[in-house]
Structure 1
Amino acid sequence: MITEKHLDSERLFLNRLAKADPTQIAVVDLGEGDSRYVLTHGQLDKLSDRVAQGLIDRGVAEGENVAYLLPNGWEFIVLTLGIWKAGAVACPLLPALREREIPFIMGKSKSKVLVIPTEFRRFAYGPLIEKIRPELPGMQHLITIDSRDPDNLATCVGGLAAQEPDPAEIERRRPGPDSPAQLLFTSGTTGEPKGVIHTHGTLGHGVAAHAHGMGLTSDDTIWVPSPMAHQTGFLYGMAMAFFIGAKQVCQAAWDVGTARIAIEQHGATFVQAAMPFLADLTREERPPQGLRIFIATGAPVPRKLAQEAVGRLNCKVAGGWGSTESCMISVGSIPNYGDSSWNSDGQVIAGREMKVTDEEGRTLPPGQEGLFKVKTPAMFTEYLDHPEWYEAAVDAEGFFNTGDLAVIDEDGNLRLTGRVKDVINRGGVKIPVAEIENLLYRMDELKDVAVVGMPDPRLNERICVYVTMIDPDRSIRLEDLTAYLQSQGVTKIYWPERLELIRDMPRTTTGKIQKYVLRQMIADKLKSE
C-alpha cells in the first residue's frame, strides 16, 4: 500500500536526484558569450555533496538561511542542492538587487554567508558589497565565484567544493518533507517585502501535480530563461527538471539568439516564463522551432499574441496563475487543448481549490468578480518574523487571500481582473509602488507623487510617474528622478520609465489620489501618440 508518507518522500527533490541516471546530462549552462558547461546528474550529486561540506565547514547549521546572489547557471543549481544537503535553507537573491535590497534581505534572513559572482552583465559585485559591508554585520563569509570550471574542485563555486564530504554528516542532516527549504522575498508591493518560507514538502507538491497535468517526463528538456531566484525559474525550471529527471538548459540573460540555441540545438521542449519571452520569440523573423509547451505566467496573454505564438512557434501556449506563497494554482489544459487554454488564466490544478468571494467571505456564483482565494498542499508555511501577516492572509479553512480580483466562469476558467491593492505588473515583476513613491516624496522639489502602470504590448505594463511641483513654474526631468533612486540604491527594474508633470492630482472628496484616473489618462495619451 502506498502511503501519504511514501508519496511525500517521492516528491522530495533530493530523493528524485538520487534516483536519476548518473550518466544522463542534467544541466546545459549556456553561460555568457561563447562559454558552455555541461554536467551530468552524477556530477551534480557529487559536487553538491562537496558544497554541502563547504557550508558545514563554514559553520552553517541546520535550518539556517544561506543567501546567494547568482544568475542562472550550474553554480546556482549545485549551490541550491548543497544548501539542502547541509540541512539549510536556500535564500536566493535576484542579481538585479543593489544597495537598498541586499542589506534588508541579509539582515532579515540572518544569513552568515553570501555567495556572489565576480561580475554579471558587466556589473562588478565585489565593490558593491564592499560599499555596503558596514550594513552587513551578520555576514561572516563572502564567497565570490571567479572560476566557472566545474572540474577544478579547488576553485569552483567559490572554493566551497574544495573538501571531500563527510557522507555520514550529510546523511544525518538530510531534510524531510517538513524541513524548511526556501526563503523568498516578495517585492514589497504594499510596504516591507515579505519573507515567504516553503518546506521541501510544499515545494514538492508545487511541482508534482503541475508536471503530471502537462504530461512532462524525463524525455522532455526544461528550458530556464526566467531567473532562478524567482519562483518561476526556481520551481518550474530548475526544480521541475529535478522532479522529472530531465535535462535543463539554463539561460542567464535574455537574448533571442541564445534562446534559439536552447530550443534548436539543445532540444528544449518545455518552458514556463513571463509573456515578454513569448512575445520576443513569436515576433522573430524566423521563430525557433522545437518547443512543445509554453506556459505563460505573470500577466494575461493577449489573444492576438497567443494565436500568433501557437502558429509561429508550433507549440501549445497556455496561461496560468501562481504566486510565491501558493505556487501554481491554475493552468490552461494541455491534454484537452483549446482556446480556453490560452485566453484565460487556466483551470484549477488537481489537488488545489480556488474560489471568488465577496468582502464578507461568501462564495460568489460563476461570472461575478470578487476576491480570489486559493487552497493548496503547496501553500507556504509562514512569513518570516511576521506570524500576524500569515494569520491575516490564510483563513481558518486554509484559503489564502491572494490580493487579486478575479472571475471564474461556468466552465471553471479563471480570469484575473485586477488587484485589491496598488501594484504594477511589469512583465511578471511586481513593482513596489509604495516604496518608490515614499522615496520620491523625499525630493524637495516634489509636492505630490503617484506611480501607476501604463499599458505596454510587450511587458503588460511599464512604470509611469505623475508628479506635481512645489513651485508650479519649475520643471523636472525623468533623469533627475531615476538618478535620485539610483543614489538610494534602488534597482533599475523599479525605476519609472516615463514622467508626466501635472499641476493638480485628481482626488477623491477625502483627498486620496485617484490612480484609476491617472491610469486612464496615460492610456489615452499613449493611444494618441
Structure 2
Amino acid sequence: MEFDAILLPPRRASSVAQGLWPERTINDALDDCVAACPDKVALSALQVESGATTRLTYRELAGRAGRIAAGLARLGVGANDVVSCQLPNWWEFTALYLACARLGAVLNPLMPILRERELSFMLRHACTKVVVIPKRFRGFDYEAMFDGLRQALPDLQHVAVIGGAGPNAFETLLDGAGAPDLAAAHRPGPDDITQLIYTSGTTGEPKGVLHSSNTLMANIVTYAERLRLGADDVILMASPMAHQTGFMYGLMMPVMLGASVVLQDIWEPRKAIALIRQEGVTFTMASTPFLTDLARTVTETGGAVPTLRAFLCAGAPIPGALVELARGALGAKVISAWGMSEMGAVTTTRLEDDDERASSTDGCPLPGVQVRVVDAAGAALPVGASGRLLVRSCSNFGGYLRRAHLNDTDPDGWFDTGDLARIDARGYIRIDGRSKDVIIRGGENIPVVEIETLLYRHPAIAQVAIVAYPDERLGERACAFVVTRDGQPFDMAAMVDFLKAQQMAAQYIPERLVVQGALPSTPAGKIQKFRLREQLRQSGQGEGASSDRA
C-alpha cells in the first residue's frame, strides 16, 4: 500500500526542531516498559458477558505481541500492509496493534457495530490484507458476516477469528510461537503510517484518516502532562478502542506511560464501579452518557469510587447539573475536552480550573496546538464571535487516504474542522456545532448548542438534537428531536414552558418537536443530524411555513 500522507513532510523539520514530535514509536515505549517494569500488570481486560478477566504483565504482553507479529509475517504481512480489526476492548486488540508495529504494518480499527454496508466500503478502500474479528460478540455472528463479505474484497487474504474453530482460528492462524523476533528487522520509523482510522461519518461520508507515530504520540505526551498522568495511574477504558478516544488514551497512552489499563468491553456502570474499586482506577475518559450513568449509579447504590481522581468527558457539551452531580457523587474532577479523529484531543479544561468551565467551555488548546476562529472569508473574528474553527496542531493527521482533495488544510497547516466555535477572553473555546448544522432563522443565527444544553437540564430528556427545516418566509426554522428517559411524557407545551423559564428568547425556541425512541448516531455515539434532516424531508414535516407552536 502506498500512503498519500502529504501533510507530514512540509511540517517535519519545524515539528522536530520545536520538540513537538517525540521521534519515537510504540515499539520504543513497549521496550522501555519490558526493561523497566517487566512484571508490572500492563492490562486487565474484563469480558462482561462471560465474566472472564485476562491479566497481562508487560513481559507477557510483549511476548504475545511478538508471537502475533510472527504469525502475521507468516501470512505475508509486512511494512505498510493494512491489518483491520473489528474487536471489542479485548486484550487481543492491544496485542494486535503492538504486533503490527513490530512489522511496520498499519492497523485499521473498525467499530464492532459496523455491518456489511460500511465494512465493504472501508475494507475495500483500505486494501485490507488480514482482518481480525470475534466469532461472536453481543449475540452477533461476525464470522458468518465475513463469510458473506469476502467475495467482494479481492485484497482480503485472511480472516482470523477469535474464539473460532479450525484453520481460521486466531489462536492458530496468528500464533507464531518459536519464530525469531522480527522487531529489529522490521522496525518502522516515527513518520511511517501506523494507523488508518475512518471518520465517524457525521456528514455521511467516511474518510480514512492517516496517522504516524509522531502525530499520535505528540498529542498523547501533552495530554498526559496536562492531566498529570504517569506510571502510577490506573486507567479505565470502557469507550471503544476502535474509536480514536479508546485507541489513543486506552491502548497507546498506558504503554507510553508505563501505567496500567483496565479494559471493559460492554458498558455497564455497575461493572465499571466494581472495576474502579477493585483495580484502584484513577482516571477514565468517555462521552457524556457514560459520566451520567456512572454518577447516577454511584448515587443510587452508594458504591463510592474514592480512587477516581478525574473523568475526562468529550463528544458533547456537559450540562452544569451533570458536573455538579458527578463532582458530588464521584468526588472526581470533571474535565471537558474536544477533539477529532484527525488529531486526537485539541482542547481540554485544566485540573486547576473551577468546575464551571467544564460546563461552559470545551477547554483551551493543549501545548503544540493553535486555534483560530474566522469568518467565511477567512478573516479572524473578535473574542466571543462565532465562526469557523481552524486548528494547527503537532498532532494534525497526514491526510485522507486517496482523498487528498478533501484534506481541508491550507499551505500554512491550518485545518478547517468543519465546526463553528467561539473563543473567550481566557482563550477557552466553545463548540457551537457543525458548520452544516447552523440554523439561520429570518437572517439570525440560532444558538443551537446553547438551546440543546438547556434542554438537557430537563429531567425528562435523555437526548436532544436540534436541526433546521426549510421555511418559505424565514428561510429556516428549528425542530427539536428528543429521546425521553424511560419513556417519560414530553410535549411541545412542556418544551416551550421550560425554555421560557430559562429566559430563552422566544425566537430561539424550536417550532417543532419530535419525540422518538432513539436518535441516529455514528459508531462513536455522535448524533447524525444529516439523517434527522433527511427524516424531516421524507416525512414532509420539513416543508412549508407552518409551526407547531405559537
Q: Which amino acid aligns with 1:240?
A: M
Structure 1 ranges of 4+ moved more than 6 A = 423-427, 450-453, 493-496, 498-501
Paired position in structure 2 for 1:472: none
User: For the Cα contact (< 8 Å) 2:160–2:170, is it kept in 1?
Assistant: no
Aligned residue type for 1:400 = F
1:211 alignment counterpart: 224
Q: Would the aligned equivalents of 1:223 and 1:268 in 2 still touch at CA under 8 Å?
A: yes
Indicate the percent of aligned positions where both proteins have the same amino acid.
Answer: 35
Q: Does 1:163 align with 2:180?
A: no
For structure 1, the 5+ residue unaligned runs are 149-153, 434-449, 459-477, 486-490, 509-516
Which whole-Å CA distance do the structure 2 matches of 1:100 and 1:380 have between them?
A: 26
Once residues 303 and 60 of structure 1 are traced to their aligned partners in structure 2, the CA distance between those partners, rounded to angstroms, is 49
Q: Among residues 243, 256, 275, which one is paired with 2:256 in the alignment?
A: 243
What letter matches 2:179 in structure 1? P
* Residue 406 of structure 1 pairs with residue 406 of structure 2: no
How far residue 156 of structure 1 moved from its aligned partner, in angstroms, is 5.8
User: Is 1:347 equivalent to 2:364 in the alignment?
Assistant: yes
Query: Contact 1:63/1:89 (CA < 8 Å) preserved in 2?
Result: yes
> Match for residue 40 of structure 2?
24
SS of aligned partner of 1:114: strand
Q: CA deviation at 1:157?
A: 4.5
| Cα distance in 1, alignment partners of residues 30 and 24 from structure 2 | 11
1:8-36 Cα shifts (integer Å, max 9, x gaps): 45653221111111110001001133211
Q: Cα offset for 1:124? A: 1.1
Please tell me the residue identity of whatever aligns with 1:23. Answer: D
1:448-459 to structure 2, matched below 5 A, reads: 454-456=481-483
Structure 2: give runs of 5+ residues left out of the alignment: 1-15, 439-447, 457-462, 468-476, 486-515
Is it true that 1:201 corresponds to 2:214 in the alignment?
yes
CA gap of 1:294–1:74, structure 2 versus 1, over 3 A, is same
Deviation at 1:219, TM superposition (A): 0.6
Amino acid in structure 2 at the alignment position of 1:118: K
CA distance in 2, matches of 1:147, 1:36: 19
Deviation at 1:118, TM superposition (A): 0.6
Contact kept? 1:145, 1:156, Cα under 8 Å? yes
Cα distance 1:317–1:5, how it changes in 2: closer, same or farther (>3 A)?
Answer: closer
Deviations 1:127-149 (A, max 9, x none): 1111222222221101111179x
1:282 corresponding residue in structure 2 = 295
| Cross-structure match for 2:542 | 505
1:287 touches 1:312 (CA, 8 Å); kept in 2?
A: no
Contact kept? 2:216, 2:343, Cα under 8 Å: no
Corresponding residue number in structure 1 for 2:190: 177
Task: After TM superposition, give the deviation of residue 243 of structure 1 in Å.
Answer: 1.4
Q: 2:409 aligns with which of 391, 394, 403?
A: 394
Residue deviations 1:121-177, cap 9 Å, x none? 1111111111222222221101111179xxxxx97655312332322x431211111
**Cα separation, 2, equivalents of 1:47 and 1:360:** 53
- 1:418 pairs with 2:433: yes
1: CA distance, partners of 2:331 / 2:218:
30
For 2:480 and 2:194, the matched residues in 1 are separated by 34
Structure-2 separation of matches of 1:11 and 1:359: 39
Alignment of 1:188-337 (within 5 A): 188-284=201-297, 285=300, 286=302, 288-289=304-305, 290-337=307-354
* Alignment match of 1:76 (pick from 90, 93, 113): 93
Alignment CA distance shift 1:411-1:157 (3 Å): farther
Q: Is the 8 A contact 2:64 2:95 kept in 1?
A: yes
Q: TM-score, normalised by structure 1?
A: 0.79
8 Å Cα contact 1:176/1:201 also seen in 2: no
Kept in 2: contact 1:237–1:248 (CA 8 A): yes
Counterparts of 1:19 and 1:224, CA distance in 2: 22
Give the Å deviation of 1:413: 1.5
Equivalent position of 1:54 in the other structure: 71
CA shift, 1:451, in A, is 13
What is the TM-score when the length of structure 2 is the normalising length?
0.76
SS of 1:103's partner is helix
Matches within 5 A, 1:33-182: 33-146=50-163, 157=171, 159-167=173-181, 169-182=182-195
Contact 1:113-1:139 at 8 Å conserved across structures: yes
CA displacement, residues 242-287 of structure 1 (integer Å, 9 cap, x when unaligned): 1111100000011112111221111111111100000001111025
Distance 1:341 1:69 in 2: 33
How far apart, in 1, do the equivalents of 2:365 and 2:205 lie? 30
The change in CA–CA distance for 1:141 and 1:37 in structure 2 (over 3 A counts) is same
CA RMSD of the aligned region, Å?
A: 3.5
